[in-house]
Amino acid sequence: MQKTITIIEDEPFIIEALTFLLQREGYLVKSVSDGALAVDFIIETRPNLVILDIMLPNVGGMKILEDIRATESISTLPVLMLTAKGQKKDRRAAEDAGASQFMTKPFENAALIKNVKEMLFS
Amino acid sequence: MASALLGTRIRENRKALGISQKNLARIAGVSASYLNLIEHNRRGIAGKTLNAIARALNADPAELSEGMNQALIDRVKTAAVRNTKIKTEHDRIEEFAARFPGFARLIARQSDQIDRRDEEFTILSDQLKHDPYFAEAMHLLLSNITTIRSTSDILATSSQMPAKTAQRFINNLAQEARKLSKTAEDIFDYFEPTSEQQVTSLDISPYESLLEKNRYYLNDLESDSVTIDQILVSLKLSADEYRATKKSLNSYKEMSENLPIQQFLVAAKNHNFDAIALAQYFNTDILSICFRLAHLPIKVEIPQFGLIQCDASGAVLYRKQLNSFSLPRYGGACPLWPVYRSLSQPLQPIRAMLDMPMGDRFHTISFAYPTEVAQIGMPALTEAIMLFTPDYAMLPKVAHGQTPQLDVGLQCTVCPRLACKARRAAYLLSNK
């Protein structure tokens, strides 16, 4: 069965590149760029994995992650956090908030795909 | 050694000025043969004769007599050891300074200048880390680079891509490259030294500078290993700076005596670093607790707290910023910060979770308090503080889980919340 991945990211060209990459691997890809709509979108679309940018307009990635973990129906969803701030504190905060995996921008396409596959497999 | 070289110093000074021994003797009112003995260190001189020769050489009699100022020699030594790759004649520095006083001063002056440049460089580096514009610009830059890297990699590795899709990605690349170029130009413009704020932003008080160097915890002062006077002596201060720094250090000492660090840390851990619970435990005011929490040693098990203190106009009186939360010194902060709201509710602590545009979250406690007894017909003088921490997970759940959440920013110019009703200045990073 085809797996679904939701991208929550505000940069349209990054969404386009990620969508192409993931579709090329056979995944169904959906995206939302407004942080305020993210949690409802996830509840509605029930993806197998979420790729979540930490810096989003309106509602930040950390808050979205906390809301995902606090919402029973999606609380166990694997979440891959992306950030342009590759600081240790961000990684720690994301892990504390329940991020399954963490990658910093700019990332290698191959590394991202590898992480996605591993997360979906586990 | 120094006094033995008096004659040598006279001779070197005379030669540097191009005066003959005979002429110097005449001007100083001594015989040429006597001056010859003096210059060969075979006669000692003092008093009237020394003053006359020094005056004729346009030199300081004390410097001629006692040799170079020890501080100057030390400065030359500092310059000598600064570069370990060049072997200098350490044992002859005093002789060098005596023979070539002008060069000695030049080397010492240049060494001092290097020290000052190093210090300025450290301050500027630190400010760069805390600059919200720069942080946002770097975020943009990395986003631009991510798009370019990812898209170009797709183009390079997808040989079977339909022409239309490839063209779309090429267009994306071109657009993103233009954005990158604009971001780079904006950063370059920002660092042109034209704005008043950039010039004045270097104006850090010696006390703040001392705290920054010690990461806001003066261990030696807390443990009585040094006195306030010893600290003051170690800082090079003007009279005004001395008074202001002494006052601030006295306040710090008072805080550390009222809330001794070991006792405080035990209680803080028992109360999960909650300022309000600690104020109740110590039966003291929230203000004192907030200042104590903002001045703790840096350890993994201790949450990091920042603090801003302002007056009723919003002018910043004191600040301890964190790498993740920079605080503008000269106004211009986000008007939605609860510290400003607290000014209209004195003595009522306000808890709030701040959600920043870049995804950072902070638990805050804001508290306004009168600074003197109110007088009839006069407005009450009020100040406010906001204590904040990104380590809210270490606080009791109730302190952050059931706390109102506010979407705020740092400054309008770097805040991407375009629809914010409190906006009073345009978002400068229009590239976004």
- Interface with chain A: mutation pick from B129, B358, B406, B410, highest number of A CBs within 10 Å: B358
CB contact under 8 A, B146 and A14: yes
CB contact under 8 A, A58 and B169: no
CATH number of the domain within which B24 lies: 1.10.260.40
Same domain, B153 and B92: no
Using one digit for the tens of pLDDT, what is the confidence trace for B71-100?
A: 677 778 878 877 778 888 878 887 888 788
Nearest C-alpha in B relative to A106: B146
Structure tokens at B49: 């004769």
CB contact under 8 A, B150 and A14: yes
* pLDDT band, very low/low/confident/very high, at B233 (cuts 50, 70, 90): confident
Same domain, B285 and B408: yes
The complex's ipTM works out to 0.87
Nearest residue to A46 via CA among A71, A24, A83, A81: A71
> Nearest CA of chain A to the CA of B294: how many Å?
18
Q: Region B16-21: what's the mean pLDDT?
A: 87
Nearest residue to A91 via CA among A111, A65, A114, A117: A65
Same domain, B432 and B400: yes
B118 occurs within a structural domain: no
Distances in Å between the alpha carbon of B355 and those of B251, B358, B364? 32, 8, 11
Chain A environment of B151 (Cβ under 8 Å): 13, 16-17
- Residues comprising chain B, all counted: 432
Same domain, B147 and B279: no
Domain A4-121 has CATH 3.40.50.1100: no
Distances in Å between the alpha carbon of B343 and those of B317, B329, B403? 14, 18, 19
What is the residue whose two structure tokens read 């033995």? B4
Chain A environment of B416 (Cβ under 8 Å): 57
- Rounded percentage of chain A residues whose pLDDT exceeds 90: 63
Same domain, B95 and B151: no
Adjacent-strand bridge partners of B318:
B309
* pLDDT band, very low/low/confident/very high, at B200 (cuts 50, 70, 90): very low
pLDDT exceeds 80 at position B65: no
* pLDDT band, very low/low/confident/very high, at B430 (cuts 50, 70, 90): low
Nearest residue to B45 via CA among B13, B75, B7, B71: B7
CB A35 within 8 A of CB A57: yes
Nearest Cβ partner of B142 from A59, A62, A84?
A: A84
Mean pLDDT of chain A: 90
Nearest Cβ partner of A13 from B142, B176, B324?
A: B176
CB < 8 Å from B in window 6-45 of A: 11, 13-14, 16-18, 20-21, 24
Same domain, B21 and B59: yes
pLDDT exceeds 70 at position B429: no
Same domain, B31 and B65: yes
Q: Region B333-350: what's the mean pLDDT?
A: 92
Adjacent-strand bridge partners of B368:
B384
Q: Where are the alpha helices (DSSP H) in chain A?
A: 12-24, 35-45, 61-70, 88-96, 109-121
B329 occurs within a structural domain: yes
CB contact under 8 A, A18 and B150: yes
Number of domains into which chain B is organized: 3
Same domain, B179 and B96: no
Residue after which a domain boundary falls, among B192, B209, B229: B192
pLDDT exceeds 50 at position B111: yes
Residue after which a domain boundary falls, among B152, B173, B192: B192
Lowest mean pLDDT among A43-57, A94-108, B72-86, B138-152: B72-86
Nearest Cβ partner of A89 from B142, B150, B390?
A: B390
pLDDT exceeds 60 at position B198: no
Work out how many CB contacts closer than 8 A connect A with B.
90
What is the 8-class DSSP label of residue A78? -
> Nearest CA of chain B to the CA of A47: how many Å?
23
CA–CA distance, A107 with A90 (Å, rounded to integer): 16
CB contact under 8 A, B143 and A107: no
Same domain, B149 and B89: no
CB contact under 8 A, B172 and A85: no
Type of residue found at B183: T
> Nearest CA of chain B to the CA of A61: how many Å?
6
- Domain of B150 in residue numbering reads as 131-192
B242 occurs within a structural domain: no
Nearest Cβ partner of A63 from B361, B393, B416?
A: B361
Three-state secondary structure of chain B: CCHHHHHHHHHHHHHHHCCCHHHHHHHHCCCHHHHHHHHCCCCCCCHHHHHHHHHHCCCCHHHHHHCCCHHHHHHHHHHHHHCCCCCCCHHHHHHHHHHCHHHHHHHHHHHHHHHHHHHHHHHHHHHHHHCHHHHHHHHHHHHHHHHHHHHHHHHHHCCCCCHHHHHHHHHHHHHHHHHHHHHHHHHHHHCCCCCHHHHHCCCCCHHHHHHHHCCCCCHHHHCCCCCHHHHHHHCCCCHHHHHHHHHHHHHHHHHHHHCCHHHHHHHHHHCCCCHHHHHHHHCCCHHHHHHHHCCCCCCCCCCCCEEEEEECCCCEEEEECECCECCCCCCCCCCCCHHHHHCCCCCCCEEEEEECCCCCEEEEEEEEEECCCCCCCCCCCEEEEEEEECCHHHCCHHHHHCCCEEECCCCHHHCCCCCCCCCCCCCCCCCC
Q: Chain B interface residues facing chain A, Cβ-Cβ under 8 Å?
A: 138-139, 142-143, 145-147, 149-151, 153-154, 157-158, 165, 168-169, 172, 175-176, 323-324, 355-361, 390, 393, 405, 407, 416-417
Same domain, B85 and B17: yes
